[in-house]
Amino acid sequence: MEPAGWVGTCVLLIATIICPRRSTDRAGRCTVSYGWRMRIGRPAPSFALPDQTGTVRTLDELRAGRRAALFFYLNSATPVCVAEVGRFRDAAGEFDRLGVARIGVSMDTAARSAALAAAVSPGFPLLSDVDGGVAETYGVRRGRYSVLPVKRETFVIDTDGTVLHIVVAELRAVAHVEESLAFLRMLAGQAKAR
């Protein structure tokens, strides 16, 4: 292959990683806009997924009438994801004080989620979305040929089941906890001011 061919191949590969849900032309430019995406104010799609123990859990059961921080992480084997789950664990007191359930979702098997739970002891369910169906309904599943299975996003869900806030930070996993808590503190402050 000529050097120009290698460059073109690399450009297409990078474009596929950066915009996996888009089509790319031969120059590597994205040509189609993103598909369906969750938006603030929409109802959070319900689901039933196995947790790290194999028990099937539903969103309504896990929320139990409370708000929830539903976060999608890439997989159990990456240090960044382990740190993200650990940060959600470490912030348990504040989430509990604000009355917010924490729920982690990845495309890992229940066995891999169990291994992560054994290592980190999160104190909340790590759900297994092996086929990516739930990730798809939330608009975070990447394309079939993407290196990374899902986008790292957190959805703050209200007591009525609507999405209140979305945190998108691909490279800063800890930002998901910090931004979610900042938003929830703001809501708590507004409620006290009334």
- Would you name the residues annotated as active-site residues? 81
Tell me how far apart the alpha carbons of residues 93 and 29 are, in angstroms, rounded to a whole number: 45
Helices (H), the chain: 3-18, 59-63, 79-90, 92-97, 110-120, 133-137, 174-193
**Number of other CB atoms surrounding residue 30 within 10 Å:** 15
11's tokens: 């450009």
Tell me how far apart the alpha carbons of residues 24 and 17 are, in angstroms, rounded to a whole number: 11
